[in-house]
Amino acid sequence: MMIFAVVSGLLVNASFLIFTKASGQAFSGTVHGAGGVLVVGAMVMASGENGSGFALTNALGQYSITEGLKTGNYTVRTMANGYLEGKIDNVHVTAGQATTGIAFYLHLSGGISGRVTETDSGIPLNNTMLMASLSNGSTAFIGTAVTDVNGNYTIAMNLGTGTYNVTAFFPEGHVQTTVSGKVVVAGQETKNVNLQLDRSGVIWGRITASPSGRGLNATVSAYSSGFTYVGTAEANDTGYYRISSGLGTSTYTVIASYDSSFNMTSGVSVTAGAETRLDLEMSATPPPPSGILMGRVTDTNSQPIPHAFVAAEGDGTSSQGDAFTDDQGDYEISSGLQNDTYTVTASAAGYTSVDVQGVSVTVDQVTSEIDFRLPKIPPAQSGTISGSVQGDENPIPEFASPIVILIILTVTVVLFARRLKVKTDRAEML
């Protein structure tokens, strides 16, 4: 269940970090490794309640985040291939002023590499996400990777010396698998950590409200005895859902939830590689019919802004709806919109909000191309952070080159796993 919670937050935070890259924000400093080696291409991120920023180190290991940082305190993190995460808390920024000398010294990471294939066929599985975490449950070190077209992966950062579990989590069409007890040593690569994934069964169907028969966009989860197998899905606005990952051959309990209503159905038989249809009724009141509002949010260079927030407020009624943009900057508001004209607002961290007024919406019809171009918060309204990054000399050549996507992936998983660990510990104390 820990991995499920990590994954559920992954998209939101990855989108946030990708967005901050586009917004080009300002701190400055340098990033160094042990022995004083300059770390080139390290990602440095500043985040706080009043803004966020992002930069990569240059050939001298220096960085400067120049936009998106209003007055306040920030946590500054840096990550680079072959190194452990660096973090400095409570870095104060004042708008219009420079905060300098925020320097990092990074220690070596170990590495894990291998291949992911389908169990019976041996077919390589690409675009499968891997996570390595300490076997003792600690979230001190977490590394991630995505397999290539040949099923190969390399986890190249944030792995300290220790014993790890490597998990392929929620692989599409397959069952989550974990390989345990892999010893990692800082500065060395543990090779041939291969995973074979079984085909998943599928549970699909439609969830409707009783007695109206209207579809409900409920959350659906399926689990076998002892939680050996677990899968989850979200029904669409017409009530159709499909759980296509994580389900091995077994008997399942399926739970659908919508607002405060639940439906629990036991004894659902699933066979790996086969489909099982399960339609469910719930005593729930579906939302009233709504118009649909669609569009895209980009910056002034026409680059998409993921995870921007778009809200629509009715001009003559209390109707309202909202949505977040996806990785392409697209959004869709499909509930809460009655017949009315609306003021639609798009906002994102590091950007100036923009309104579009007089947008006409009709129930059961689509109003499209309500697009936004958000200007960045100008440097004059932002403080800057600068510094450097150095680190230990990296003995593993393939870990030396920067891979921004993997850094983004690792950072987001680390942050969410740690937050989840805190919540879990608190819950256990109650």
Phi-psi region of 215 (alpha: psi -120 to 50; beta: other; left: phi over 0): beta
pLDDT at 32: 60
Paired tokens of 263: 């439906």
Tell me the pTM. Answer: 0.72
Q: How many Å is the Cα radius of gyration of the chain? A: 24
pLDDT at 28: 56
Low-confidence ranges of the chain (pLDDT < 70): 1-35, 394-430
DSSP lists the bridge partners of residue 52 as 47
pLDDT at 422: 41
Spatial CA neighbour of 76 closest among 387, 327, 308: 387
pLDDT at 1: 41
Helices (H) and strands (E) in the chain, counts: 2, 34
DSSP lists the bridge partners of residue 253 as 223
Q: All domains of the chain, ordered by start, with CATH?
A: 1-198+378-430 (2.60.40.10), 202-272 (2.60.40.10), 292-377 (2.60.40.1120)
Paired tokens of 90: 């409570």
pLDDT at 296: 97
pLDDT at 35: 64
**CA 55 and chain centroid, separation:** 19
- Cβ(386)–Cβ(61) under 8 Å? no
pLDDT digits (tens, 9 = 90+) for 24-52: 334 456 666 556 789 988 999 998 887 78
pLDDT at 406: 52
Report the relative pairing of strands 195-197 and 261-270 from DSSP bridges: unpaired
- Cβ(69)–Cβ(142) under 8 Å? no
- Cβ(30)–Cβ(387) under 8 Å? yes
pLDDT at 359: 96
